[in-house]
Amino acid sequence: MLPHVLLCLIAPLLVLAGDDGGITGATSSAEAAGYSCDASKCKLPNCACASTSPPGGLSPSDVPMFVVFTADDAVQSYTLDSVNQFLAHRQNPNGCAPKMTYFTSLNFTNYTLVTDWYVAGNEIADHTMTHVGDPPKDEINGNLIALNALAGIPLTSIAGFRAPFLNYSVNTLKLLAAAGFTYDSSAAASIPVTDPGTDAFWPYTLDNGMANDCLEVEGSCKGQPVLPGFWEIPMYAFFDSAGAAGPHLMDPWLDIPSGSTKVNDTATLEYMKNTFTAHYTGNRQPIGLYTHPIHLSTTYPGVNPSNSTINMINEFLDWAQQQQNVWIVSNEQLLAWVRNPVPLSQLNDFAPLKCSTPQVDASQKICNGIPGNEDGLLSHCAFSDFPFYTCYGCPETEPTVNNPNPPQQIPDGQQARIRLPANCSTPFWDPIGGKCLCTSSQCAFNDVSRPIGPNGANLTGGGTGGAAGASASPTGQYIPFNGELFTVPPSVWAATVVGLVGAVVGAMTVV
Ligand SMILES: [Zn+2]
Protein backbone atom coordinates (compact mmCIF):
# COMPACT_ATOMS: atom_id res chain seq x y z
CA MET A 1 0.00 0.00 0.00
CA LEU A 2 1.45 3.31 -1.01
CA PRO A 3 1.36 6.28 1.31
CA HIS A 4 -1.52 8.59 0.53
CA VAL A 5 0.79 11.38 -0.54
CA LEU A 6 2.29 9.18 -3.25
CA LEU A 7 -1.06 8.09 -4.58
CA CYS A 8 -2.05 11.72 -4.84
CA LEU A 9 0.99 12.40 -6.96
CA ILE A 10 0.70 9.35 -9.16
CA ALA A 11 -2.90 9.50 -10.18
CA PRO A 12 -2.89 12.91 -11.84
CA LEU A 13 0.34 12.24 -13.72
CA LEU A 14 -0.97 9.09 -15.31
CA VAL A 15 -4.21 10.78 -16.19
CA LEU A 16 -2.28 13.52 -17.92
CA ALA A 17 -0.21 11.04 -19.85
CA GLY A 18 -3.26 8.91 -20.63
CA ASP A 19 -4.72 9.14 -24.10
CA ASP A 20 -2.45 11.91 -25.21
CA GLY A 21 -2.53 11.92 -28.95
CA GLY A 22 -3.44 8.89 -30.96
CA ILE A 23 -4.60 8.62 -34.56
CA THR A 24 -6.55 5.82 -36.19
CA GLY A 25 -6.15 6.61 -39.86
CA ALA A 26 -5.16 9.26 -42.38
CA THR A 27 -5.64 12.79 -41.05
CA SER A 28 -5.10 14.48 -44.39
CA SER A 29 -5.42 14.04 -48.15
CA ALA A 30 -4.10 15.93 -51.14
CA GLU A 31 -7.60 17.18 -51.90
CA ALA A 32 -8.22 18.39 -48.36
CA ALA A 33 -4.78 20.03 -48.25
CA GLY A 34 -5.32 22.04 -51.43
CA TYR A 35 -1.70 23.02 -50.93
CA SER A 36 0.41 25.01 -53.32
CA CYS A 37 3.78 26.67 -52.78
CA ASP A 38 6.21 28.27 -55.21
CA ALA A 39 9.66 26.95 -54.26
CA SER A 40 11.31 29.62 -56.39
CA LYS A 41 9.89 32.25 -54.03
CA CYS A 42 9.87 30.33 -50.77
CA LYS A 43 13.52 29.81 -49.82
CA LEU A 44 15.54 28.71 -46.84
CA PRO A 45 16.36 29.54 -44.15
CA ASN A 46 13.06 31.28 -43.33
CA CYS A 47 10.68 29.74 -45.85
CA ALA A 48 10.21 26.12 -46.85
CA CYS A 49 7.45 24.53 -48.91
CA ALA A 50 5.84 21.36 -47.55
CA SER A 51 7.72 18.69 -49.50
CA THR A 52 8.49 15.00 -49.27
CA SER A 53 11.93 15.69 -50.81
CA PRO A 54 14.90 16.66 -48.65
CA PRO A 55 15.56 20.38 -48.15
CA GLY A 56 18.14 22.28 -50.15
CA GLY A 57 17.72 20.06 -53.19
CA LEU A 58 19.95 17.45 -51.59
CA SER A 59 19.87 13.92 -52.85
CA PRO A 60 18.68 11.45 -50.17
CA SER A 61 22.12 9.80 -50.22
CA ASP A 62 23.57 13.11 -48.96
CA VAL A 63 21.01 13.44 -46.17
CA PRO A 64 21.33 12.24 -42.57
CA MET A 65 18.58 10.02 -41.18
CA PHE A 66 17.25 11.85 -38.14
CA VAL A 67 15.52 10.05 -35.30
CA VAL A 68 13.74 12.74 -33.27
CA PHE A 69 13.28 11.93 -29.59
CA THR A 70 10.68 13.84 -27.60
CA ALA A 71 9.02 13.55 -24.19
CA ASP A 72 5.83 15.22 -22.99
CA ASP A 73 4.34 16.45 -19.70
CA ALA A 74 5.82 17.05 -16.23
CA VAL A 75 9.59 16.97 -15.69
CA GLN A 76 10.53 14.88 -12.68
CA SER A 77 13.39 12.60 -11.66
CA TYR A 78 11.18 9.65 -12.64
CA THR A 79 10.62 10.90 -16.15
CA LEU A 80 14.27 11.87 -16.69
CA ASP A 81 15.31 8.42 -15.47
CA SER A 82 12.97 7.02 -18.08
CA VAL A 83 14.46 9.08 -20.92
CA ASN A 84 17.99 8.36 -19.76
CA GLN A 85 17.46 4.60 -19.96
CA PHE A 86 17.13 5.07 -23.73
CA LEU A 87 19.62 7.87 -24.43
CA ALA A 88 22.27 8.31 -21.73
CA HIS A 89 24.51 5.50 -23.02
CA ARG A 90 24.35 6.50 -26.69
CA GLN A 91 26.51 8.55 -29.01
CA ASN A 92 25.80 10.14 -32.36
CA PRO A 93 28.22 9.64 -35.27
CA ASN A 94 30.25 12.70 -34.16
CA GLY A 95 30.79 11.20 -30.69
CA CYS A 96 28.35 13.54 -28.92
CA ALA A 97 25.55 12.42 -26.63
CA PRO A 98 22.12 12.63 -28.29
CA LYS A 99 19.83 15.47 -27.22
CA MET A 100 16.06 15.50 -27.09
CA THR A 101 13.07 17.82 -26.76
CA TYR A 102 10.99 17.94 -23.58
CA PHE A 103 7.51 19.44 -24.05
CA THR A 104 6.98 20.59 -20.50
CA SER A 105 3.72 21.17 -18.68
CA LEU A 106 3.98 22.65 -15.21
CA ASN A 107 1.69 20.72 -12.87
CA PHE A 108 3.93 18.34 -10.90
CA THR A 109 7.08 19.66 -12.58
CA ASN A 110 10.22 19.97 -10.48
CA TYR A 111 11.70 23.20 -11.85
CA THR A 112 15.30 22.53 -10.89
CA LEU A 113 15.33 19.41 -13.05
CA VAL A 114 14.15 21.50 -15.99
CA THR A 115 17.17 23.75 -15.42
CA ASP A 116 19.51 20.76 -15.22
CA TRP A 117 18.06 19.12 -18.32
CA TYR A 118 18.39 22.35 -20.29
CA VAL A 119 21.96 23.08 -19.17
CA ALA A 120 22.84 19.51 -20.19
CA GLY A 121 21.95 20.55 -23.73
CA ASN A 122 18.40 19.36 -24.18
CA GLU A 123 15.60 21.44 -25.61
CA ILE A 124 12.85 22.68 -23.31
CA ALA A 125 9.58 23.39 -25.10
CA ASP A 126 6.05 24.48 -24.16
CA HIS A 127 3.15 22.07 -23.50
CA THR A 128 0.87 24.64 -21.73
CA MET A 129 0.82 25.35 -18.00
CA THR A 130 -1.96 22.97 -16.95
CA HIS A 131 -2.15 20.59 -19.91
CA VAL A 132 -5.17 21.81 -21.85
CA GLY A 133 -6.04 21.17 -25.47
CA ASP A 134 -6.83 24.03 -27.88
CA PRO A 135 -5.25 26.27 -25.26
CA PRO A 136 -6.05 29.90 -24.57
CA LYS A 137 -3.20 32.38 -24.89
CA ASP A 138 -2.38 32.56 -21.19
CA GLU A 139 -1.85 28.78 -20.98
CA ILE A 140 0.82 29.03 -23.67
CA ASN A 141 2.49 32.26 -22.58
CA GLY A 142 2.27 31.53 -18.85
CA ASN A 143 4.36 28.41 -19.44
CA LEU A 144 7.12 30.56 -20.96
CA ILE A 145 7.00 33.07 -18.13
CA ALA A 146 7.08 30.45 -15.36
CA LEU A 147 9.86 28.39 -16.98
CA ASN A 148 11.90 31.56 -17.41
CA ALA A 149 11.33 32.72 -13.82
CA LEU A 150 11.60 29.43 -11.91
CA ALA A 151 13.75 27.22 -14.16
CA GLY A 152 16.01 29.94 -15.60
CA ILE A 153 15.29 28.99 -19.21
CA PRO A 154 16.02 31.93 -21.54
CA LEU A 155 12.92 33.15 -23.32
CA THR A 156 14.71 32.66 -26.62
CA SER A 157 15.30 29.04 -25.88
CA ILE A 158 11.65 28.08 -25.57
CA ALA A 159 11.07 27.93 -29.30
CA GLY A 160 8.70 25.01 -29.75
CA PHE A 161 5.22 23.91 -28.73
CA ARG A 162 3.18 20.73 -28.71
CA ALA A 163 -0.55 20.81 -27.93
CA PRO A 164 -1.76 18.54 -25.13
CA PHE A 165 -3.73 15.63 -26.64
CA LEU A 166 -2.35 16.97 -29.95
CA ASN A 167 -5.49 19.06 -29.83
CA TYR A 168 -4.65 22.29 -31.63
CA SER A 169 -6.60 24.74 -33.77
CA VAL A 170 -5.78 27.42 -36.29
CA ASN A 171 -6.02 29.81 -33.35
CA THR A 172 -3.31 27.87 -31.51
CA LEU A 173 -0.92 28.28 -34.43
CA LYS A 174 -1.68 32.00 -34.62
CA LEU A 175 -1.10 32.45 -30.88
CA LEU A 176 2.25 30.66 -31.16
CA ALA A 177 3.46 32.79 -34.04
CA ALA A 178 2.35 35.95 -32.21
CA ALA A 179 4.29 34.93 -29.08
CA GLY A 180 7.51 34.48 -31.05
CA PHE A 181 7.64 30.69 -31.17
CA THR A 182 9.67 29.16 -33.98
CA TYR A 183 7.67 25.99 -34.45
CA ASP A 184 4.73 23.79 -33.56
CA SER A 185 4.97 20.00 -33.50
CA SER A 186 1.41 18.78 -32.98
CA ALA A 187 0.43 17.71 -36.50
CA ALA A 188 0.54 14.11 -37.69
CA ALA A 189 2.20 12.69 -40.80
CA SER A 190 -0.38 9.94 -41.09
CA ILE A 191 0.14 8.30 -44.50
CA PRO A 192 3.11 5.99 -45.18
CA VAL A 193 6.04 7.37 -47.18
CA THR A 194 5.56 4.48 -49.63
CA ASP A 195 2.07 5.77 -50.50
CA PRO A 196 2.09 8.27 -53.41
CA GLY A 197 -0.28 10.49 -51.41
CA THR A 198 1.96 10.54 -48.33
CA ASP A 199 1.75 13.51 -45.99
CA ALA A 200 5.20 12.81 -44.53
CA PHE A 201 6.57 16.25 -45.36
CA TRP A 202 9.89 17.53 -44.17
CA PRO A 203 9.41 20.42 -41.70
CA TYR A 204 7.96 23.42 -43.51
CA THR A 205 6.89 26.99 -42.85
CA LEU A 206 3.30 28.17 -42.90
CA ASP A 207 3.90 30.85 -45.51
CA ASN A 208 1.35 28.88 -47.57
CA GLY A 209 -0.69 27.37 -44.77
CA MET A 210 -0.78 23.90 -43.31
CA ALA A 211 -0.53 20.68 -45.31
CA ASN A 212 -1.09 18.15 -42.49
CA ASP A 213 -4.21 17.22 -40.48
CA CYS A 214 -6.38 18.81 -43.15
CA LEU A 215 -9.25 16.41 -42.44
CA GLU A 216 -9.08 17.17 -38.73
CA VAL A 217 -8.48 20.84 -38.03
CA GLU A 218 -11.21 23.26 -38.98
CA GLY A 219 -10.13 26.23 -41.07
CA SER A 220 -6.67 24.78 -41.65
CA CYS A 221 -5.10 24.01 -45.10
CA LYS A 222 -6.09 25.31 -48.53
CA GLY A 223 -3.62 28.11 -47.88
CA GLN A 224 -4.46 28.73 -44.21
CA PRO A 225 -3.25 29.88 -41.80
CA VAL A 226 -0.64 32.17 -43.35
CA LEU A 227 2.15 32.51 -40.78
CA PRO A 228 5.37 33.42 -42.59
CA GLY A 229 8.51 31.93 -41.09
CA PHE A 230 6.62 29.84 -38.54
CA TRP A 231 7.42 26.13 -38.83
CA GLU A 232 5.46 22.92 -38.51
CA ILE A 233 7.53 19.87 -37.62
CA PRO A 234 5.18 16.97 -38.42
CA MET A 235 5.09 13.97 -36.11
CA TYR A 236 5.89 10.97 -38.27
CA ALA A 237 3.75 7.89 -37.55
CA PHE A 238 4.91 4.29 -37.62
CA PHE A 239 2.72 1.84 -39.54
CA ASP A 240 2.06 -1.76 -38.59
CA SER A 241 1.21 -4.70 -40.86
CA ALA A 242 -2.10 -3.06 -41.76
CA GLY A 243 -0.16 -0.31 -43.56
CA ALA A 244 -2.02 2.98 -43.88
CA ALA A 245 -4.81 1.56 -41.73
CA GLY A 246 -2.43 0.86 -38.86
CA PRO A 247 -0.75 4.12 -37.81
CA HIS A 248 0.94 4.51 -34.42
CA LEU A 249 2.00 8.00 -33.41
CA MET A 250 2.87 8.45 -29.73
CA ASP A 251 4.17 5.65 -27.49
CA PRO A 252 3.58 3.01 -30.21
CA TRP A 253 4.77 0.35 -27.74
CA LEU A 254 1.63 0.91 -25.66
CA ASP A 255 -0.63 0.15 -28.64
CA ILE A 256 -1.93 -3.22 -29.74
CA PRO A 257 -0.57 -3.88 -33.24
CA SER A 258 -2.95 -4.98 -35.99
CA GLY A 259 -3.31 -8.76 -35.87
CA SER A 260 -2.52 -8.97 -32.15
CA THR A 261 -4.88 -9.08 -29.21
CA LYS A 262 -2.56 -7.44 -26.73
CA VAL A 263 0.64 -5.41 -26.57
CA ASN A 264 3.18 -7.33 -28.61
CA ASP A 265 6.77 -6.08 -28.42
CA THR A 266 7.94 -8.42 -31.17
CA ALA A 267 5.35 -7.15 -33.64
CA THR A 268 5.96 -3.53 -32.58
CA LEU A 269 9.71 -3.84 -33.10
CA GLU A 270 9.10 -5.37 -36.51
CA TYR A 271 6.89 -2.55 -37.76
CA MET A 272 9.06 0.17 -36.22
CA LYS A 273 12.02 -1.24 -38.16
CA ASN A 274 9.97 -1.49 -41.34
CA THR A 275 8.78 2.12 -41.13
CA PHE A 276 12.31 3.31 -40.36
CA THR A 277 13.62 1.42 -43.39
CA ALA A 278 10.95 2.91 -45.65
CA HIS A 279 12.09 6.40 -44.61
CA TYR A 280 15.79 5.52 -44.71
CA THR A 281 15.72 3.99 -48.19
CA GLY A 282 13.35 6.68 -49.50
CA ASN A 283 13.57 10.44 -49.06
CA ARG A 284 14.88 10.16 -45.51
CA GLN A 285 12.09 12.10 -43.87
CA PRO A 286 12.81 11.96 -40.13
CA ILE A 287 11.25 9.38 -37.88
CA GLY A 288 10.29 10.12 -34.28
CA LEU A 289 10.05 8.47 -30.91
CA TYR A 290 7.34 10.60 -29.25
CA THR A 291 7.18 9.44 -25.68
CA HIS A 292 5.29 9.93 -22.44
CA PRO A 293 8.22 8.78 -20.34
CA ILE A 294 6.21 8.27 -17.16
CA HIS A 295 4.77 5.07 -18.65
CA LEU A 296 8.23 3.51 -18.89
CA SER A 297 9.73 4.81 -15.66
CA THR A 298 11.19 2.09 -13.48
CA THR A 299 11.63 4.50 -10.56
CA TYR A 300 8.09 5.86 -10.36
CA PRO A 301 6.26 4.42 -7.35
CA GLY A 302 3.40 2.17 -8.35
CA VAL A 303 4.32 1.93 -12.03
CA ASN A 304 5.79 -1.34 -13.23
CA PRO A 305 6.68 -1.00 -16.87
CA SER A 306 7.43 -4.07 -18.92
CA ASN A 307 11.14 -4.81 -19.14
CA SER A 308 10.47 -6.44 -22.46
CA THR A 309 9.10 -3.15 -23.83
CA ILE A 310 12.02 -1.14 -22.48
CA ASN A 311 14.45 -3.63 -24.01
CA MET A 312 12.58 -3.57 -27.30
CA ILE A 313 12.91 0.22 -27.60
CA ASN A 314 16.62 0.00 -26.87
CA GLU A 315 16.93 -2.82 -29.40
CA PHE A 316 15.25 -0.61 -32.00
CA LEU A 317 17.64 2.26 -31.29
CA ASP A 318 20.66 -0.10 -31.28
CA TRP A 319 19.57 -1.45 -34.64
CA ALA A 320 18.91 2.02 -36.10
CA GLN A 321 22.30 3.28 -34.91
CA GLN A 322 24.10 0.40 -36.58
CA GLN A 323 23.14 1.91 -39.91
CA GLN A 324 25.15 4.65 -41.53
CA ASN A 325 24.41 8.34 -40.89
CA VAL A 326 21.69 7.92 -38.30
CA TRP A 327 21.44 10.75 -35.74
CA ILE A 328 19.24 10.96 -32.65
CA VAL A 329 18.25 14.60 -32.23
CA SER A 330 15.98 17.18 -30.63
CA ASN A 331 13.49 19.10 -32.73
CA GLU A 332 15.65 22.21 -32.55
CA GLN A 333 18.63 20.29 -33.92
CA LEU A 334 16.50 18.88 -36.72
CA LEU A 335 15.19 22.33 -37.57
CA ALA A 336 18.66 23.87 -37.50
CA TRP A 337 19.72 21.36 -40.14
CA VAL A 338 16.58 21.79 -42.24
CA ARG A 339 17.20 25.54 -42.33
CA ASN A 340 20.82 25.00 -43.30
CA PRO A 341 20.92 21.55 -44.91
CA VAL A 342 24.60 20.72 -45.21
CA PRO A 343 25.43 17.40 -46.89
CA LEU A 344 26.72 14.42 -44.93
CA SER A 345 30.32 15.28 -45.73
CA GLN A 346 30.03 18.49 -43.66
CA LEU A 347 27.96 17.13 -40.82
CA ASN A 348 30.76 16.61 -38.33
CA ASP A 349 31.48 20.35 -38.46
CA PHE A 350 27.84 21.35 -38.17
CA ALA A 351 27.61 23.44 -35.00
CA PRO A 352 24.07 22.57 -33.86
CA LEU A 353 25.03 18.89 -33.69
CA LYS A 354 28.30 19.45 -31.85
CA CYS A 355 28.90 18.76 -28.22
CA SER A 356 30.20 21.32 -25.80
CA THR A 357 30.01 21.77 -22.09
CA PRO A 358 29.69 25.12 -20.32
CA GLN A 359 33.10 25.82 -18.82
CA VAL A 360 32.12 26.54 -15.26
CA ASP A 361 34.73 25.86 -12.59
CA ALA A 362 33.62 22.69 -10.82
CA SER A 363 34.54 24.17 -7.43
CA GLN A 364 32.23 27.17 -7.85
CA LYS A 365 29.22 27.15 -5.54
CA ILE A 366 26.63 28.52 -7.90
CA CYS A 367 23.03 27.55 -8.47
CA ASN A 368 23.21 27.07 -12.23
CA GLY A 369 21.70 23.78 -13.41
CA ILE A 370 24.92 21.79 -12.97
CA PRO A 371 24.44 19.32 -10.11
CA GLY A 372 28.03 19.58 -8.86
CA ASN A 373 27.90 23.36 -8.67
CA GLU A 374 24.45 23.77 -7.21
CA ASP A 375 24.60 21.15 -4.49
CA GLY A 376 23.08 22.56 -1.27
CA LEU A 377 21.93 25.80 -2.87
CA LEU A 378 18.43 24.91 -4.05
CA SER A 379 15.33 26.46 -2.56
CA HIS A 380 12.71 23.92 -1.49
CA CYS A 381 9.22 25.13 -2.30
CA ALA A 382 6.98 23.06 -0.05
CA PHE A 383 3.61 23.35 -1.74
CA SER A 384 1.22 20.73 -0.47
CA ASP A 385 0.06 19.28 -3.78
CA PHE A 386 3.50 19.12 -5.30
CA PRO A 387 6.68 20.41 -3.70
CA PHE A 388 9.52 21.40 -6.02
CA TYR A 389 13.03 22.81 -5.98
CA THR A 390 14.42 25.82 -7.78
CA CYS A 391 17.59 27.90 -7.99
CA TYR A 392 15.60 31.08 -8.44
CA GLY A 393 13.69 31.49 -5.17
CA CYS A 394 10.29 30.04 -4.30
CA PRO A 395 7.19 31.92 -5.33
CA GLU A 396 4.71 32.86 -2.57
CA THR A 397 2.07 30.84 -4.37
CA GLU A 398 2.27 28.24 -7.12
CA PRO A 399 2.31 29.68 -10.64
CA THR A 400 -1.14 29.79 -12.18
CA VAL A 401 -2.53 30.80 -15.52
CA ASN A 402 -3.67 34.07 -13.95
CA ASN A 403 -0.34 34.66 -12.25
CA PRO A 404 2.54 32.68 -13.77
CA ASN A 405 5.21 34.67 -11.90
CA PRO A 406 4.03 35.35 -8.33
CA PRO A 407 6.13 37.44 -5.91
CA GLN A 408 9.07 35.63 -4.35
CA GLN A 409 8.87 34.14 -0.88
CA ILE A 410 12.02 35.32 0.90
CA PRO A 411 13.13 33.25 3.91
CA ASP A 412 14.05 35.16 7.09
CA GLY A 413 17.59 36.46 7.00
CA GLN A 414 18.03 35.87 3.28
CA GLN A 415 17.98 38.07 0.22
CA ALA A 416 15.68 37.56 -2.73
CA ARG A 417 17.24 35.51 -5.52
CA ILE A 418 17.66 37.29 -8.80
CA ARG A 419 16.12 35.61 -11.83
CA LEU A 420 18.01 34.99 -15.07
CA PRO A 421 18.50 38.32 -16.85
CA ALA A 422 18.60 38.74 -20.61
CA ASN A 423 22.38 39.14 -20.77
CA CYS A 424 23.67 35.98 -19.10
CA SER A 425 23.26 32.32 -19.98
CA THR A 426 21.87 29.86 -17.46
CA PRO A 427 25.04 27.98 -16.40
CA PHE A 428 26.93 31.23 -15.77
CA TRP A 429 24.23 33.08 -13.82
CA ASP A 430 24.52 33.18 -10.03
CA PRO A 431 20.98 33.92 -8.81
CA ILE A 432 22.13 34.24 -5.18
CA GLY A 433 24.97 36.68 -5.84
CA GLY A 434 23.01 38.32 -8.65
CA LYS A 435 25.99 38.23 -11.00
CA CYS A 436 27.12 36.69 -14.26
CA LEU A 437 30.31 34.63 -14.05
CA CYS A 438 30.92 34.80 -17.75
CA THR A 439 33.90 36.97 -18.58
CA SER A 440 34.74 35.87 -22.10
CA SER A 441 33.11 35.95 -25.49
CA GLN A 442 32.96 32.16 -25.34
CA CYS A 443 30.05 32.35 -22.94
CA ALA A 444 28.61 35.75 -23.79
CA PHE A 445 24.87 35.74 -24.14
CA ASN A 446 22.09 38.01 -25.25
CA ASP A 447 18.56 36.78 -25.05
CA VAL A 448 15.84 38.32 -27.16
CA SER A 449 12.64 39.53 -25.63
CA ARG A 450 9.24 38.01 -26.35
CA PRO A 451 6.11 40.07 -27.07
CA ILE A 452 4.08 38.32 -24.42
CA GLY A 453 3.79 40.65 -21.44
CA PRO A 454 0.74 42.52 -20.18
CA ASN A 455 -0.31 45.24 -22.60
CA GLY A 456 2.11 43.94 -25.19
CA ALA A 457 5.19 44.44 -23.04
CA ASN A 458 8.27 42.60 -24.18
CA LEU A 459 9.38 40.25 -21.46
CA THR A 460 13.10 39.96 -20.90
CA GLY A 461 13.39 37.97 -17.68
CA GLY A 462 15.41 39.10 -14.65
CA GLY A 463 13.99 40.67 -11.49
CA THR A 464 12.82 38.79 -8.44
CA GLY A 465 9.29 37.84 -9.43
CA GLY A 466 5.94 39.53 -9.17
CA ALA A 467 6.71 42.36 -11.55
CA ALA A 468 5.50 42.41 -15.11
CA GLY A 469 8.99 42.64 -16.60
CA ALA A 470 10.51 45.74 -18.07
CA SER A 471 10.54 46.31 -21.78
CA ALA A 472 13.76 46.20 -23.71
CA SER A 473 14.90 46.20 -27.29
CA PRO A 474 15.75 42.87 -28.85
CA THR A 475 19.45 42.58 -29.51
CA GLY A 476 19.16 40.25 -32.45
CA GLN A 477 22.02 38.08 -31.29
CA TYR A 478 22.01 34.76 -29.61
CA ILE A 479 25.29 33.23 -28.56
CA PRO A 480 25.01 29.74 -27.17
CA PHE A 481 27.43 28.40 -24.62
CA ASN A 482 29.89 27.14 -27.20
CA GLY A 483 30.47 30.61 -28.53
CA GLU A 484 29.05 30.02 -32.01
CA LEU A 485 27.31 33.16 -33.17
CA PHE A 486 23.92 33.07 -34.78
CA THR A 487 21.83 35.97 -35.91
CA VAL A 488 18.31 35.75 -34.76
CA PRO A 489 15.52 37.16 -36.67
CA PRO A 490 12.67 35.07 -35.94
CA SER A 491 14.20 33.28 -33.04
CA VAL A 492 16.43 30.76 -34.62
CA TRP A 493 18.61 28.75 -32.57
CA ALA A 494 20.84 26.04 -32.11
CA ALA A 495 22.35 25.81 -28.68
CA THR A 496 23.64 22.39 -28.03
CA VAL A 497 25.51 21.79 -24.90
CA VAL A 498 26.35 18.32 -24.01
CA GLY A 499 27.99 16.15 -21.53
CA LEU A 500 25.90 16.29 -18.41
CA VAL A 501 23.20 13.80 -19.20
CA GLY A 502 23.09 11.17 -16.58
CA ALA A 503 24.48 13.44 -13.91
CA VAL A 504 20.97 14.49 -13.04
CA VAL A 505 19.60 11.01 -12.67
CA GLY A 506 18.03 10.66 -9.29
CA ALA A 507 19.57 13.89 -8.12
CA MET A 508 16.35 15.29 -6.84
CA THR A 509 13.67 12.81 -6.04
CA VAL A 510 10.67 14.55 -4.57
CA VAL A 511 8.02 12.56 -2.78
ZN1 LIG B 1 0.75 15.87 -22.72
pLDDT above 60: residue 11: no
Tell how far the Cα of 71 is from the centroid of ligand 1, in angstroms: 9
Tell how far the Cα of 135 is from the centroid of ligand 1, in angstroms: 12
Q: Please answer whether residues 370 and 425 qualify as being in contact, where contact means their C-beta atoms are separated by less than 8 angstroms.
A: no
pLDDT above 70: residue 445: yes
Neighbours of ion ligand 1 (CB under 5 A): 20, 72-73, 164
**pLDDT tens digit string along 167-224?**
999 999 999 999 999 999 999 999 999 999 999 999 999 999 999 999 999 999 999 9
Predicted pLDDT of residue 419 = 95
E strands present in 275-426: 287-291, 326-329, 379-381, 388-390
**pLDDT tens digit string along 396-430?**
999 999 999 999 999 999 999 999 998 899 999 99
Tell how far the Cα of 14 is from the centroid of ligand 1, in angstroms: 10
Q: Are strands 123-126 and 101-104 parallel, antiparallel or unpaired?
A: parallel
Q: What is the separation, in whole angstroms, between the first and last Cα of the chain?
A: 15
Helix axes 111-119, 77-87, angle to 10 degrees: 30
Mean pLDDT over residues 350-379, rounded? 92
**pLDDT tens digit string along 271-314?**
999 999 999 999 999 999 999 999 999 999 888 999 999 999 99
Taking the CA atoms of residue 213, residue 219, residue 221 and residue 227 in that order, the dihedral angle to the nearest 10 degrees is -110
Tell how far the Cα of 139 is from the centroid of ligand 1, in angstroms: 13
Mean pLDDT over residues 379-398, rounded? 96
Tell how far the Cα of 165 is from the centroid of ligand 1, in angstroms: 6
Tell how far the Cα of 462 is from the centroid of ligand 1, in angstroms: 29
**pLDDT tens digit string along 50-106?**
999 999 999 999 999 999 999 999 999 999 999 999 999 999 999 999 999 999 999
Tell how far the Cα of 73 is from the centroid of ligand 1, in angstroms: 5
Architecture in CATH for domain 66-342: Alpha-Beta Barrel (3.20)
Question: Mean pLDDT lowest for which of 100-109, 324-333, 478-487?
Answer: 478-487
Where in the chain are the domains? 66-342
Q: What is the DSSP string of 117-180?
A: HHHTT-EEEE--SS--SS--HHHHHHHHHHHHHHH---GGG--EE--GGG---HHHHHHHHHTT
pLDDT-derived band at 467 (thresholds 50, 70, 90) equals low
How much is the ipTM here? 1.00
188: closest CA among 13, 388, 26, 356? 26
Phi, psi at residue 160, to the nearest 5°?
A: -125, 160
**DSSP 8-state assignment for residue 408:** B
Predicted pLDDT of residue 234 = 98
**pLDDT tens digit string along 122-138?**
999 999 999 999 999 99
Q: Are strands 238-239 and 235-236 parallel, antiparallel or unpaired?
A: unpaired
Q: Which residues contact 435 (CB under 8 A, 6 or more apart)?
A: none
